[in-house]
Amino acid sequence: MKRFLYLEKKDLGTILNQYRPLLKINDPFVPISSDTSLIFKTGGQRSERPFFINKVAPCRHVCPIGIDIPTAFYLASQGDIDGALRTYLQDNPLPGICGRVCYHPCEMECNRVNFDESINIRSLERFLSDQGHVDITRDVPIHSKKEKIAVIGSGPAGLSAAYHLARLGYRVTIFEAKSELGGMLRYGIPSYRLPRSILDREIERIHSLGIQTQLETTVGKDLSWKELESFDAVFMSLGLQSGKTLFETDGLENDILIGLDFLANPKRWSLEDDTQKTLIIGGGNVAIDVARTLLRLHQGKGTNITVLCPESRDQMPALPEEVKEALEEGINILNGWAPHKLHREDGRLFSLDFCRAEVKIDEESGTMEIIRVGKEIQKHMVDKIIVAIGQRMKSDNLPPGIEIKQGGIVTDRFGRTSLPKFFSGGDAIRGKAFVANAIAGGKMGAFAISCFFEGRDIEIEFQRYQIGDSQIYSFPHFIGGLEKDTIHLKTVVSFDQINTLFFSKNARNNPDKLEPETRKKTFEEVTRSLKQAGMEEEISRCFHCGTCIDCEICLDFCPDISIIKDTKLGIYSFDSDYCKGCGVCSVACPRNVIEMVGETI
């Protein structure tokens, strides 16, 4: 109905054109009177009134961390790169990392997909975080609260929990088993995808919040869980530290490796000899990272490196872009095969038999079953095998009495475990094993711990700040309250609510990549940053779904000149004397920010 009204304006334009010489107007869309009409208080005709309310963009709704992407892009479009980064940092302590390695579900749900192509949200996150400068300590009450929290593990879940807790004013100490912070960001994901300088920069920023760290301390071994009693709460972000095994290695420990062990220190295993035939078993990110790391150790000579997995190419759990890049670099991937029998000779690894296989995935539970198909067997000569078929939690260092199920710590949806004072998140609770989900787990942990200390009903609190029907809440609203902002966090703007007449189709801007022939010989970062012009073009493509960006289209379209802009506060209201409730502003708004609500008598 409202859209119909708007389309009708085109006919109105045609009619007005006939009178143009008479009226001496150039723009058929601008209402004009030849005399004052102020005496006609048309507001009396109104049965509905416009109501300005920001809503949630679908990209934000599906981002596991709930980042306010349209606001960040709006600030960037005004040249305020620092403001854009500050917006990211409200919810995400690691934008430079997510801007590189996140699986970007935001792009899959971006409304722009239905128009031309999704916005390159991840590349923009990277650009803005690399270019922006923000002193995060400025607005937070560091150490303003007395409660102390121990965070165990410093992967993205632990770093995120520590960051958000510190911003809430709590005193945080991180205990980390390894000699450096970062978890799989440092000891898993290779540097050609995530340079360590970026990780160090983001950790430094988190550190600036007055967080204590105790490295080389495995809780449950070097320090007992009981010794943490002096802390008021514990957040466990232990990750999945053990790679699953496939074969008995006895005596072949240097020939049959675990992918995670290899990636943690690739040079340790003396695999530089490129004449050795190496087989990597697995179809996930770890397998692909192992293959590409080995290729770089071999100075780009990949003829003896093969990845084998039972999944078809489309079923591989590795991110499609990773698989594509590996293939471009010349990695050989054999799909639809599973290892069958290992042969040794003279105490050495000799060959491996493969059999034909396929994988059935249960969509609901996410579990997979490998099924042998037919009788075909192939023998492959092999010098080294690297097994990358998944990870599991180390169960020997857990706090006594904690409930474990299917290899993960049992929690409710807020990360509360079976033990009082103990919370958990990240890979250890066996949800989606991605960086963004781990960050979300840490953010949720901070929320749950805060509610616990302050005796607030967590269900009610979560309802209040929940974004749409997602599993995440808005951190800036949690600390700042909802009162100051005009946003309805529960409503998500869909594509059919966008007025696309105001947008033109443009191709997506993608960053450059190093050429395969160059990149396969080096650990230099493969993907480059967007250039300044590319960033600006990409930002200008964003619809800013549900977010008022001061475009003033509503002002232009109101036939009664009844929209009032408060230039100081940048907010809009309507003149109740003259607004007759026609709804044109609501239909015209490109971003679905104006609702018509019924008048009450």
Ligand X SMILES: Cc1cc2nc3c(=O)[nH]c(=O)nc-3n(C[C@H](O)[C@H](O)[C@H](O)COP(=O)(O)OP(=O)(O)OC[C@H]3O[C@@H](n4cnc5c(N)ncnc54)[C@H](O)[C@@H]3O)c2cc1C
Q: Which of 351, 321, 323 is nearest to 339 (CA)?
A: 351
- In angstroms, the Cα distances linking 203 to 143, 263, 355, 404 are 19, 21, 45, 30
Q: Is 188 in the site for ligand X (CB under 6 A)?
A: yes
Residue 325 site contact among ligand X, ligand SF4, none (CB < 5 to 8 Å, cut-off depends on kind): none
Beta-carbon contacts of residue 155 (< 8 Å; ≥ 6 apart): 182, 183, 184, 185, 237, 239, 426, 427, 438
From the CB of 471, what's the least distance to ligand SF4, in Å?
13
From the CB of 560, what's the least distance to ligand SF4, in Å?
4
CB nearer to ligand X: pick between 405 and 484? 405
Q: Is 544 in the site for ligand SF4 (CB under 6 A)?
A: yes
Q: Is 543 in the site for ligand SF4 (CB under 6 A)?
A: yes
Distance CA 100, CA 525 (A): 10
Residue 291 site contact among ligand X, ligand SF4, none (CB < 5 to 8 Å, cut-off depends on kind): none
- List 218, 242, 276, 491, residue binding ligand X (CB under 6 A): 218
Asked if residue 181 lies in contact with residue 159, where contact means CB atoms within 8 angstroms, the answer is yes
Q: Is 489 in the site for ligand SF4 (CB under 6 A)?
A: no
Give the HSE-up count for residue 518: Cα atoms under 13 Å, Cβ half-sphere.
7
- List 76, 157, 166, 234, residue binding ligand X (CB under 6 A): 157
- List 174, 387, 579, 593, residue binding ligand SF4 (CB under 6 A): 579
Give the count of beta carbons closer than 10 Å to the beta carbon of residue 492. 23
Q: Is 61 in the site for ligand SF4 (CB under 6 A)?
A: no
- List 257, 286, 584, 587, residue binding ligand X (CB under 6 A): 286
Instruction: Find the part of the chain contacting ligand X (CB under 6 A) among 348-356, 363-371, 425-433, 495-503.
Output: 425-433
Instruction: Write the DSSP string, 160-211.
Output: HHHHHHHHTT-EEEEE-SSSSS-THHHHTS-TTTS-HHHHHHHHHHHHTTT-
- List 52, 56, 68, 70, residue binding ligand SF4 (CB under 6 A): 70
- List 106, 136, 194, 309, residue binding ligand SF4 (CB under 6 A): 106
Torsion of CA 533, 93, 238, 405, to 10 degrees: -90
Residue 176 site contact among ligand X, ligand SF4, none (CB < 5 to 8 Å, cut-off depends on kind): ligand X
Give the count of beta carbons closer than 10 Å to the beta carbon of residue 533. 9
From the CB of 204, what's the least distance to ligand X, in Å?
17
Instruction: Find the part of the chain contacting ligand SF4 (CB under 6 A) among 12-20, 52-60, 342-350, 513-521.
Output: 52-60
List the x/- string, 395-414, binding to ligand X by CB under 6 A: --x-----------------
Distance CA 161, CA 209 (A): 12
CB nearer to ligand X: pick between 406 and 600? 406
3-class secondary structure per residue, 248-298: CCCCCCCCEEEHHHHHHCHHHHCCCCCCCCEEEECCCHHHHHHHHHHHHHC
Asked if residue 161 lies in contact with residue 183, where contact means CB atoms within 8 angstroms, the answer is no
- List 102, 279, 287, 357, residue binding ligand SF4 (CB under 6 A): 102
Q: How many residues bind ligand SF4 (CB under 6 A)?
A: 38
Distance CA 262, CA 155 (A): 18
CB nearer to ligand X: pick between 102 and 316? 102
Whose structure tokens read 């416009």?
50
Taken in order 40, 41, 47, 49, is the CA torsion positive or negative?
positive
Q: Is 50 in the site for ligand SF4 (CB under 6 A)?
A: yes
3-class secondary structure per residue, 369-408: EEEEEEEEEEEEECCEEEECCCEECCCCCCCCCCCEECCE
- List 54, 68, 81, 125, residue binding ligand SF4 (CB under 6 A): 125
List the x/- string, 190-209, binding to ligand SF4 by CB under 6 A: --------------------
Show contacts with ligand X in window 59-118 (CB under 6 A).
101-103
Burial 102-124, CB ≥16 within 10 A → b, else e: bbbbbbebbbbeebebbbbbbbb
Q: How many residues bind ligand X (CB under 6 A)?
A: 40
Asked if residue 219 lies in contact with residue 175, where contact means CB atoms within 8 angstroms, the answer is yes
Q: Is 239 in the site for ligand X (CB under 6 A)?
A: yes
- List 289, 525, 538, 560, residue binding ligand X (CB under 6 A): 289
Instruction: Find the part of the chain contacting ligand SF4 (CB under 6 A) among 64-72, 206-214, 261-269, 402-410.
Output: 64-72
List the x/- string, 359-398, binding to ligand X by CB under 6 A: --------------------------------------x-
Residue 449 site contact among ligand SF4, ligand X, none (CB < 5 to 8 Å, cut-off depends on kind): none
Distance CA 371, CA 359 (A): 6
Q: Is 237 in the site for ligand X (CB under 6 A)?
A: yes
Asked if residue 65 lies in contact with residue 439, where contact means CB atoms within 8 angstroms, the answer is yes
Longest dimension (CA), the chain: 104
Show contacts with ligand SF4 in window 435-454 (CB under 6 A).
436
Q: Is 177 in the site for ligand X (CB under 6 A)?
A: yes
Residue 90 site contact among ligand SF4, ligand X, none (CB < 5 to 8 Å, cut-off depends on kind): none
Show contacts with ligand SF4 in window 247-286 (CB under 6 A).
none
CB nearer to ligand SF4: pick between 311 and 560? 560
Q: Is 243 in the site for ligand SF4 (CB under 6 A)?
A: no
Distance CA 339, CA 84 (A): 49
Angle (CA) 328 329 334, round 5°: 80
Distance CA 102, CA 437 (A): 9
Instruction: Write the DSSP string, 90-121.
Output: HH-S-HHHHHHH---HHHHH-GGGGTSS---H
Q: At what angle do helices 458-465 and 435-454 cross, to 10 degrees?
A: 130
Distance CA 467, CA 369 (A): 35
Q: Is 220 in the site for ligand X (CB under 6 A)?
A: yes
CB nearer to ligand X: pick between 120 and 592? 120
Fill in the DSSP letter of residue 227. G
Instruction: Find the part of the chain contacting ligand SF4 (CB under 6 A) among 306-314, 459-467, 530-538, 542-550.
Output: 542-550
- Chain residues binding ligand SF4 by CB under 6 A are 50, 57-59, 63, 65, 67, 69-70, 98, 102, 104-106, 110-112, 119, 121-122, 125, 436, 542-545, 558, 560, 562-563, 574, 579-585
- Chain residues binding ligand X by CB under 6 A are 101-103, 152-158, 175-178, 183-185, 188-189, 218-220, 237-239, 241, 260, 263, 285-286, 289, 397, 426-428, 433-436, 438
